[in-house]
C-alpha cells in the first residue's frame, strides 16, 4: 500500500468528523442568515467573535481526542500495511473493537462539545446583553448546529466505516463476533433519517413562525418574508432528505442484493461463494451466518466426496460377482446404512499346502461408519494374509485376534466373525465362530435347518483368547449354508416388528433349488419390502453357499 493511501486510510474518520462539524456550522449559519428575521449586526459580530475562539478550540480537541482513541487502529494499519508484520491477536481484537465503536464515540464527543457550546454562548450573551431575549436565538442556533452535526456525522462516519475501513480490518467478515462492540442497527438508521427529514425541518419552521410574532413590520411584508424563508428552507431540506434517503436505501438494498446473489449461487452448487460483510448490523449478522453456512456446506460436500471415495474403496474390497467353482455356488452382498460400514464378507481359494480349501467369511464390526470401515479393512487384510500361512483354522483366527486387540486397544471396538473352510473332495466343512451368529445349514432332503454353533468371543476383546475349530462331514448336493449379520433379522418394519429369522428360513426353503445369487436377491428384496421405504438401522450382510 502506498504511503499516501495509508495516510488517507488512517485519517478518514478524523477528517470525516471534522467535516461533519464544519457542515453543521455552515448549514445553520446559512439558514440563520436567510431566516425571516436575520440576526442584527451586533449579534452577528459577537457570535463571530466567540466562534473565532470556540470553534478552532473545539475542532482541535476533536482532532487530538480522535488521534488518542485511534492509537490501536493506527498501530494495526502500520504493522499490516507499512511494516508488513503479522498483527498479534490482542492488538487485532482491540483495533477492530475500537473501529466499530468509533462512530458512536465520536458522535458522543460531538454532542458533549455542542452542549458545552450552549452553556458558553448562553453565558456570554447573558452577560453582554444582560438577559436580553436574543438569548433564545443563540440557544436555538447551537442546538441546530448540534443536531445537523450529529446527523451528518452518523451517516458520513458510517459510510467511511463500511466502504473504506471494514474491508481492511475484516476481509473475511465476522464483524458481529467482535466482543463489546456496538451495532449500528437498521432501526437506528431509520430513526436518524426520520430526524433529518422530518423533525429538524419541523423545528426550523416552528422557529420561523415563532419569529413572526416578534416582528413589527406590516403583515404583507411579513408574509412575503415568511414565504421566501419557507421556500428556501423547504428546498434545502427536500434536497438533503432525498440525498439521505438515497444513501440509506443504497446501504440497505446493495447488501441484500449481494446476499440474494450469493444464496442463488449456493443453490446452484457454487459453495465457494461468500457474502462481503461490511456492517455489524442485522444485515452483517445475516451475511456472517450465510458465510458460516456456506463453509459448513463446503465441508459437508468435501466429506461427502471423501465418504463416496471410501465407500468405493470399501466395496472394491468385497467380492463383486458370485463365485462358481466345482461343486460350489457362492454369492454375497452387503447393504450399508451409512456411506461406509463395518459389515464384511469374503470368499477365496487357498493355495500351497492348503490347496483345495475354499474360505468363506462374514463379519460384523460394532457400529458403522468410517471407524468401523477402517477396522473391517484391517481385519480383511489380517485374515487374507494369515489364511495362506501354515497353521490350523483355530490358530489363524487366534493370531488375527491378537493383532486386532493390539490395534483397537481400549477403544471399545470389536468384530464378530464366522470363518468357514470347505473341502469339496472330502465333503468337509470346518469353521470358527468368534461371537458371530451361527451359520444356517439347510438340507432340502429332510427339509431341516440346523445352526452351526461354536464357542468364541468377538475379535478385539481378549488378546489371550484361544479359539476352537468345529467340523462337519457328509456335505451333500443341494444343501445350502447361510451366513448373515443381525442387520437382516433385527431390521424393523413400519409397525416396529422385526424381520426375524423365520421369514429368512421360509425363503431358503422355497428357493433352495435356485442359484446362490438368486437366493441372496430374494432375501434382500423381501427385506426391502418389509422395511416399506424406511432406512436401514444397521448394516446388513448375507452370504449364501450352495453345494451343486
333-366 per-residue burial string, b: 16 or more CB within 10 A, e: under 16 = bbbbbbbbbbbbbbbbeeeeebeebbbbbbbbbb
Count other C-beta atoms under 10 Å from residue 125's C-beta: 22
Helix (H, G, I), strand (E, B) or coil at 259: helix
Q: How far is 341 from 415, CA to CA, in rounded Å? A: 12
Count other C-beta atoms under 10 Å from residue 32's C-beta: 19
Higher pLDDT residue, 130 or 326?
326
Q: What is the pLDDT of residue 106?
A: 94
According to DSSP, the residues that pair with 434 across neighbouring strands are 417
297-312 per-residue burial string, b: 16 or more CB within 10 A, e: under 16 = eeeeeeeeeebeebbe
Q: Which helix (H) or strand (E) holds 319?
A: none
Mean pLDDT of 226-232: 79
Q: Positive or negative, the Cα torsion across 511, 517, 518, 524? A: positive
| Residue 488 predicted with pLDDT over 80 | yes
| Residue 131 predicted with pLDDT over 60 | no
CA atoms within 13 A of residue 515's CA, in its CB half-sphere = 12
Q: Which helix (H) or strand (E) holds 334?
A: strand 328-335
Higher pLDDT residue, 451 or 313?
451
Q: How far is 198 from 147, CA to CA, in rounded Å? A: 12
pLDDT single digits (tens) 153-192: 998 998 888 888 888 888 888 888 888 888 888 888 888 8
Q: What is the pLDDT of residue 213?
A: 61
pLDDT single digits (tens) 65-79: 999 999 999 999 888
Residue of 250, 80, 246, 87 lying closest to 165 (CA atoms) = 80
CA atoms within 13 A of residue 109's CA, in its CB half-sphere = 22
On whether the CB atoms of residues 475 and 452 are closer than 8 A, the answer is no
Domain extents for the chain?
3-283, 322-547
271 CB-near residues (< 8 Å, 6+ apart)? 294, 297, 298, 301
| Residue 312 predicted with pLDDT over 80 | no
Range of lowest pLDDT (188-192, 203-207, 508-512): 203-207
On whether the CB atoms of residues 538 and 486 are closer than 8 A, the answer is yes
Q: How far is 348 from 152, CA to CA, in rounded Å? A: 83
Q: How far is 405 from 385, CA to CA, in rounded Å? A: 17
258 CB-near residues (< 8 Å, 6+ apart)? 275, 276, 287
Q: What is the pLDDT of residue 320?
A: 77
Q: What is the pLDDT of residue 543?
A: 92
Q: What is the pLDDT of residue 70?
A: 92
pLDDT tier for residue 395 given thresholds of 50, 70 and 90 = very high
> What DSSP character marks residue 459?
B
Phi, psi of 375 (to 5 degrees): -65, -35
Q: What is the pLDDT of residue 272?
A: 86
151 CB-near residues (< 8 Å, 6+ apart)? 192, 195, 196, 200, 244
Q: What is the pLDDT of residue 187?
A: 85
Q: What is the pLDDT of residue 249?
A: 84
On average, the pLDDT of the chain sits at: 85
Question: Residues 368, 522, 520, CA angle at the centre, nearest 5°?
Answer: 55
Residue with C-alpha cell 449354508?
481
Mean pLDDT of 293-315: 78
Mean pLDDT of 361-381: 81
Q: Which helix (H) or strand (E) holds 133?
A: none
Spell out the alpha helix ranges (H) of 130-218. Answer: 135-160, 166-169, 186-194, 200-212
Let me know how long the chain is: 548
In order, the DSSP letters of 390-419 are: SS-HHHHHHHHHHHHHHHHTTS---EEEEE
CATH of 322-547, one of 3.60.40.10, 3.40.50.2020, 3.90.550.10, 3.40.630.10: 3.60.40.10
pLDDT tier for residue 374 given thresholds of 50, 70 and 90 = confident
Mean pLDDT of 431-449: 90
| Residue 223 predicted with pLDDT over 90 | no
**C-alpha grid cell for residue 225?**
418574508
On whether the CB atoms of residues 421 and 430 are closer than 8 A, the answer is yes
**C-alpha grid cell for residue 90?**
490482542
| Residue 409 predicted with pLDDT over 60 | yes
| Residue 340 predicted with pLDDT over 70 | no
pLDDT tier for residue 470 given thresholds of 50, 70 and 90 = very high
Report which listed range, 231-240, 288-297, 366-375, is most confident. Answer: 288-297
CA atoms within 13 A of residue 225's CA, in its CB half-sphere = 18
| Residue 457 predicted with pLDDT over 60 | yes
220 CB-near residues (< 8 Å, 6+ apart)? none
Higher pLDDT residue, 192 or 135?
192
The pLDDT > 70 percentage for the chain reads 93
101 alpha-carbon distance from chain centroid: 26
Q: How far is 210 from 171, CA to CA, in rounded Å? A: 53
Range of lowest pLDDT (352-356, 390-394, 446-450, 538-542): 352-356
Helix (H, G, I), strand (E, B) or coil at 17: helix
Report which listed range, 8-22, 42-56, 280-294, 296-310, is most confident. Answer: 8-22
Residue of 332, 255, 296 lying closest to 515 (CA atoms) = 332
Question: Residues 282, 288, 294, CA angle at the centre, nearest 5°?
Answer: 135
The pLDDT > 90 percentage for the chain reads 19
> What DSSP character marks residue 437?
P
pLDDT tier for residue 482 given thresholds of 50, 70 and 90 = very high
> What DSSP character marks residue 279?
-
Q: What is the pLDDT of residue 56?
A: 92
Helix (H, G, I), strand (E, B) or coil at 519: helix
Higher pLDDT residue, 200 or 153?
153
On whether the CB atoms of residues 343 and 485 are closer than 8 A, the answer is yes
pLDDT tier for residue 36 given thresholds of 50, 70 and 90 = low
pLDDT single digits (tens) 316-330: 777 878 888 888 899
Mean pLDDT of 529-534: 86
State the virtual CA torsion across 364, 369, 370, 374 in degrees, nearest 10. Answer: 0
Phi, psi of 376 (to 5 degrees): -60, -45
Amino acid at each position: 500500500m502506498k504511503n499516501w493511501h495509508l495516510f488517507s486510510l488512517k485519517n478518514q474518520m478524523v477528517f470525516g468528523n471534522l467535516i461533519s462539524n464544519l457542515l453543521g456550522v455552515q448549514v445553520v449559519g446559512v439558514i440563520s442568515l436567510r431566516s425571516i428575521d436575520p440576526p442584527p449586526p451586533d449579534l452577528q459580530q459577537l457570535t463571530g467573535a466567540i466562534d473565532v475562539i470556540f470553534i478552532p478550540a473545539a475542532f482541535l480537541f476533536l482532532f487530538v481526542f480522535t488521534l488518542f482513541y485511534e492509537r490501536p487502529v493506527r498501530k494495526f494499519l502500520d504493522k499490516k500495511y507499512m511494516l508488513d508484520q503479522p498483527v498479534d491477536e490482542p492488538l487485532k481484537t482491540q483495533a477492530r473493537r475500537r473501529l466499530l465503536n468509533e462512530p458512536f464515540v465520536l458522535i458522543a464527543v460531538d454532542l458533549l462539545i455542542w452542549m458545552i457550546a450552549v452553556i458558553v454562548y448562553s453565558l456570554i450573551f447573558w452577560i453582554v446583553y444582560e438577559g436580553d431575549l436574543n438569548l433564545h436565538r443563540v440557544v436555538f442556533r447551537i442546538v441546530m448546529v448540534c443536531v445537523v452535526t450529529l446527523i451528518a456525522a452518523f451517516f458520513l462516519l458510517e459510510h467511511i466505516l463500511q466502504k473504506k475501513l471494514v474491508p481492511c480490518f475484516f476481509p473475511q467478515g465476522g464483524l458481529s463476533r467482535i466482543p463489546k462492540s456496538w451495532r449500528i442497527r437498521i432501526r437506528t438508521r431509520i430513526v436518524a433519517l426520520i430526524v433529518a427529514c422530518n423533525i429538524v425541518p419541523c423545528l426550523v419552521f416552528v422557529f420561523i413562525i415563532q419569529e413572526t410574532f416578534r416582528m413589527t413590520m406590516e403583515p404583507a411584508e411579513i408574509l412575503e418574508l415568511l414565504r421566501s424563508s419557507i421556500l428556501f428552507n423547504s428546498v434545502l431540506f427536500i434536497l438533503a432528505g432525498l440525498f439521505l434517503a438515497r444513501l440509506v436505501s443504497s446501504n440497505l438494498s446493495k447488501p441484500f442484493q449481494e446476499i440474494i446473489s450469493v444464496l442463488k449461487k449456493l443453490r446452484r452448487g457454487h459453495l465457494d461463494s461468500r457474502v462481503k460483510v461490511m456492517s455489524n448490523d442485522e444485515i452483517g449478522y445475516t451475511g456472517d451466518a450465510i458465510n458460516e453456512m456456506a463453509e459448513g456446506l463446503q465441508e459437508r460436500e468435501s466429506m461427502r466426496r471423501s465418504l463416496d471415495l471410501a465407500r468405493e474403496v470399501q466395496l472394491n474390497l468385497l467380492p463383486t460377482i458370485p463365485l462358481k467353482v466345482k461343486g460350489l455356488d457362492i454369492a454375497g452382498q452387503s447393504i450399508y446404512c451409512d456411506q461406509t460400514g463395518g459389515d464384511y464378507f469374503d470368499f477365496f481359494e487357498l493355495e500351497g499346502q492348503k490347496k483345495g480349501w475354499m474360505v468363506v467369511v462374514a463379519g460384523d464390526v460394532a457400529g458403522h461408519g468410517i471407524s468401523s470401515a477402517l477396522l473391517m479393512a484391517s481385519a480383511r487384510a489380517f485374515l487374507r494374509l494369515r489364511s495362506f500361512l501354515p497353521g490350523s483354522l483355530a490358530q489363524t483366527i487366534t493370531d488375527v485376534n491378537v493383532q486386532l486387540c493390539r490395534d483397537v486397544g481400549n477403544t471399545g471396538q470389536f468384530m464378530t466373525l464366522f470363518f468357514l473352510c470347505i473341502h469339496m473332495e472330502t465333503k468337509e466343512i470346518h469353521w470358527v465362530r468368534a461371537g458371530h451368529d451361527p451359520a444356517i445349514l439347510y438340507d432340502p432332503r429332510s427339509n431341516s435347518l440346523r445352526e452351526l454353533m461354536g464357542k468364541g468371543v468377538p475379535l478385539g476383546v481378549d488378546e489371550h483368547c484361544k479359539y476352537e475349530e468345529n467340523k462337519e462331514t457328509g456335505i451333500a448336493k443341494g444343501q445350502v449354508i447361510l451366513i448373515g449379520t443381525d442387520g437382516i433379522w433385527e431390521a424393523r418394519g413400519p409397525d416396529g416388528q422385526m424381520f426375524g429369522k423365520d421369514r429368512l428360513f421360509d425363503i431358503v426353503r422355497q428357493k433352495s433349488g435356485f442359484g446362490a445369487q438368486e437366493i441372496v436377491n430374494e432375501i434382500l428384496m423381501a427385506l426391502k419390502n418389509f422395511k416399506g421405504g424406511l432406512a436401514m438401522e444397521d448394516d446388513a450382510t448375507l452370504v449364501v453357499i450352495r453345494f451343486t
